[in-house]
Amino acid sequence: MMLSIKSRIIVLSLASLVFLLLAIFSEYSHIKQNVSDSKNSLITIEKISYISQLIHSLQKERGMSAIYFVKKGKSSYDSLVKQREITDSMLKNIAVSLASKNNLIEFIDELKKIRTFIDNNSVAWQLIKDFYAFEIDKLLTNISLNLIELYYQKEISHELYAVYYLLNARENLGILRADILHSYIKRELTQSEILEIGYKYSIFNNKFQYFKLHINKTPCDNIKKHLNDEFLKPLKLHITSTINKQKKLHKKSSQSWWEEATAAIDLMKKSEDTIFKNIIEYSQHNIQTQETNLFWYIAIAVILFVFISFLAISTVIHIFESVSIFTKYLSEVEKTEDFSLRVVPDSEDEFSQINKSLNKFVNYTDTILEEKENLASIDLLTGVMNRRSFTSTAQREVEQSNRYERPLSLIFCDIDDFKQINDTYGHNIGDEVLKSFANVVSSNIRQGDYIVRWGGEEFMVLTPQTDETQASELAQNLRKLTSEIYIEEAKKFTCSFGVAQITKGESLEGLIKRADEAMYKAKELGKNQVVLASKLR
């Protein structure tokens, strides 16, 4: 069946608007994703910068340990203790930056042990050096992994890798500083130590050359000026002389070596900080620019879409009016055969049809939006409320409870050993467990109660005008019904419940927290239990 001209015009106009809207939304999503990626990158860059500070603190602690290890004294020990305190303070704040808290705890324990060995002079210097080098190497690996996964603009890629290689070069120089200082203070240098120093110097030089390769591709002229081959000459001369034993190993040499190496390390650290500052400032400026562009894009896109929509609709209306008048005119001429007739604008019937079509279109759109809103408020797997819709509903109930002093209780539910169910029987069975539990709870609560899938295997039931005792009875009933659910593969499972009644003036967040704590107490007591928040006080 062929469409009429009018229908074709309508279809083409609507299709054009839809495609325009999709194009606008696609570009909006792309810009918004770039903003999100840039913010995440900035967080990672700041984290890398903090790890760099920790590495520097560990390097200083290693150097001071080398001094104290062979040169006991109150002054050197006090300096070492002060540096340890700085390191410990940084470790307390860096748990998020490391792989896991377990690794951090293990590292801190090992660090305490090695410090005790140093204080008691009960371990070889090689073991001390290896410990610090190993832990710093893990931190450098952490930075390397972050760089690999990092989303960043190509404008700062060379700066990021420059600072990474500078960190590696500084670490190798730190080891050289400690090794040579240790040898000077001992006033001897074995063949194996000479080989080790030569090896470490070659690695340092290699990493520094990589740094130069990247920094030369950046606009950091002040860094290029200070960190060039000239600043390495005193170090190279001292290391070469030490390897060739051209310098006598006495305290004066150790002092000059320590000062030269420390000055170089401090300069490298200062340069790292400068590069990080440049990167962070660039990233912040880039985020601000992207957010500004996003704002203007939305504003212009809305204006453009409204204008084109108005232009399309007005054009279609004009075409319909013209066709209607023209058709009417031709019909009248054919009927009367009077060619002296003139076109009289009369578009009442046509406007009526357009209005009816628009009303149908608006009704259809409204229906689609309503269905979309309903879908957005429901957890697709279990069919109960999702977290977003529940939060607004629960907030309203909390406000009414506080205003009218009505009781309100919350039941926090967590399916026991759900991860084990997933691992043992597969996610399909896990989904069946979630759906079965949600169905049982939905079927056994009042019409005015609310059930929500809070996340994963966690559910909550909000019971208006219900005190803690009544909510506890409901939770006990749900616990019993849950234990009777039978799924063929997984058989039976249980659930732990925490119950809390809102207190005067309490927020929704506070109510959820107390119910959550009660639920965790139920877990601790053996699971498949109901615990009241009031009993935890």
The residues assigned a catalytic role are 457
CB 412 within 8 A of CB 515: yes
| Separation between Cα atoms, residue 405 and residue 98, nearest integer Å | 47
Q: Residue 234 burial by CB count (10 A; 0-12/13-18/19+): exposed, middle or buried?
A: middle
Please calculate the CA angle 320-324-327 and round it to the nearest 5 degrees. 135
Chain centroid, CA 304 distance in Å: 34
CB 147 within 8 A of CB 161: yes
- Which three-class secondary structure state does DSSP give residue 526? coil
- The amino acid at residue 370 is E
Q: For the chain, what is the largest distance between any 2 Cα atoms, rounded to a whole number of angstroms?
A: 126
H helices of 248-386, in order, are: 251-336, 348-376
Structure tokens at 19: 């495609």
> How many residues appear in the chain?
537
Q: Residue 530's closest CA among 466, 477, 485?
A: 477
Helix (H) or strand (E) holding 80: helix 74-92
Structure tokens at 100: 């896991």
Q: Residue 35's closest CA among 397, 345, 228, 293?
A: 293
- Which three-class secondary structure state does DSSP give residue 457? coil
Q: What is the DSSP letter of 385?
A: B
Half-sphere exposure in the Cβ direction for 6 (13 Å, CA): 13
Q: Residue 274 burial by CB count (10 A; 0-12/13-18/19+): exposed, middle or buried?
A: middle
- Which three-class secondary structure state does DSSP give residue 411? strand
H helices of 153-250, in order, are: 157-186, 191-215, 221-226, 229-243
Backbone angles phi, psi at 532, to 5 degrees: -90, 135
Q: Residue 332's closest CA among 346, 317, 319?
A: 346
CB 432 within 8 A of CB 378: no
| Separation between Cα atoms, residue 62 and residue 188, nearest integer Å | 20
